[in-house]
């Protein structure tokens, strides 16, 4: 805090200016219209929807560990820990059918397996995939302590939205079911490929589609924006932790249950089994018998 208050400390000029603007009751305005919906903009950070992964030397190490991460992912099938992605009422206009929060998709389904969520470590989940957690902690520099497996089922459309801030970037590491899966950020669209990392800035308006026939699962990891200095990250972490602590205290007194912490707690028991997870094997098993008959007739002819 003392370093941020020291005007001679040029390493935190950017964050100091942003902080003073917030204290005065104002917000910094982004330079591009596609970031206008983002509630927190720190000025003088490079803004681009998608980033060239060659700028991050460690990405190659992540991609080299595809089989390691995928193996741990597949062991999670049938285990507890997955939950539907939900948010408070202010996050979406679409209420969940089970009345636990709101959903961010208008078709299909979206489930998650949290490892970290806003500085909170999901110890039980992390214990189930220790190698993945080790890779996140040891390979990705300055990760944001926000990481999870993101699972979208066939015909899912995640509605356009903005992330909460531009002080971080988001990494997608596609693991399985990538065919027919794509992501739009601003006016750019990328198609996911298994084992190929995508880094994008989710402060830009973005949305996603999965038109494949099996469940698409990506490992998502947030990381601090590379333009921020270590001193700026240290200060912003302090603010983040203070904010989360305050929000948790408020949520404990919130009888409505319409808050982030209450919904996270309620959603953990909503998935009873792994029937939601569509694999090539389950898809073949669940195929209509008439389809099988048709295939046999084709072979005979």
Q: Which two tokens stand for residue 40?
A: 């927190």
Of 11, 13, 271, which Cα lies nearest the Cα of 151? Answer: 271
> Six-digit token pair at 200?
């994008």
pLDDT band at 19 (very low <50, low <70, confident <90, very high): confident
Its pTM stands at: 0.91
Q: State yes or no: pLDDT of 247 exceeds 50.
A: yes
- 83-139, pLDDT tens digit by residue? 999 999 989 999 999 999 999 999 999 999 999 998 789 999 999 999 999 999 999
What single DSSP character describes residue 166? Answer: S
Give the β-pairing of 181-185 and 206-210. antiparallel
pLDDT in tens, 144-189: 999 999 999 999 999 999 999 999 999 999 999 999 999 999 999 9
Q: What is the distance in angstroms between the CA of the first residue and the CA of the last residue of the chain?
A: 78
Beta bridge partners of 207: 184
Q: What angle do CA 120, 125, 128 make, to 5 degrees?
A: 145
- pLDDT tier, 20 (very low <50, low <70, confident <90, very high otherwise): confident
- CB-based contact 87:110 (threshold 8 Å): no
How many angstroms separate the CA atoms of 18 and 34, rounded? 20
The pLDDT, as a whole number, for residue 296 is 42
Residue 168: per-residue pLDDT: 98
pLDDT confidence of residue 284:
64
């Amino acid at each position: 805090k003392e370093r941020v208050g020291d005007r001679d400390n040029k390493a935190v000029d950017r964050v100091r200016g942003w902080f003073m603007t917030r204290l005065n009751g104002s917000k910094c305005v982004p330079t591009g219209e596609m970031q206008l919906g983002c509630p927190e903009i720190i000025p003088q950070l490079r803004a681009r929807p998608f980033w060239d992964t060659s700028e991050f030397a460690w990405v190659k190490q992540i991609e080299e560990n595809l089989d390691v991460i995928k193996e741990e992912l597949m062991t999670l099938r049938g285990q507890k820990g997955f939950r539907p992605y939900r948010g408070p009422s202010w996050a979406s206009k679409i209420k969940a059918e089970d009345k636990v929060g709101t959903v961010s998709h208008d078709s299909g389904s979206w489930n998650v397996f949290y490892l970290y969520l806003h500085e909170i470590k999901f110890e039980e989940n992390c214990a189930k995939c220790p190698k993945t957690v080790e890779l996140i902690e040891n390979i990705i520099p300055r990760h944001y302590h926000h990481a999870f497996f993101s699972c979208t089922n066939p015909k899912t459309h995640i509605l356009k939205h903005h992330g909460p801030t531009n002080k971080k970037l988001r990494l997608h590491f596609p693991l399985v079911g990538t065919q027919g899966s794509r992501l739009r950020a601003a006016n750019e669209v990328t198609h996911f490929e298994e084992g190929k990392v995508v880094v994008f800035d989710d402060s830009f308006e973005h949305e996603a589609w999965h038109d494949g026939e099996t469940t698409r699962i990506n490992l998502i990891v947030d990381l601090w924006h590379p333009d921020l200095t270590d001193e700026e990250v240290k200060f912003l972490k302090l603010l983040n932790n203070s904010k989360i602590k305050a929000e948790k205290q408020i949520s404990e007194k919130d009888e409505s249950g319409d808050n982030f912490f209450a919904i996270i707690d309620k959603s953990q028991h909503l998935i009873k089994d792994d029937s939601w997870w569509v694999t090539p094997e389950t898809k073949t098993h669940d195929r209509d018998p008439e389809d099988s008959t048709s295939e046999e007739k084709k072979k005979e002819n």
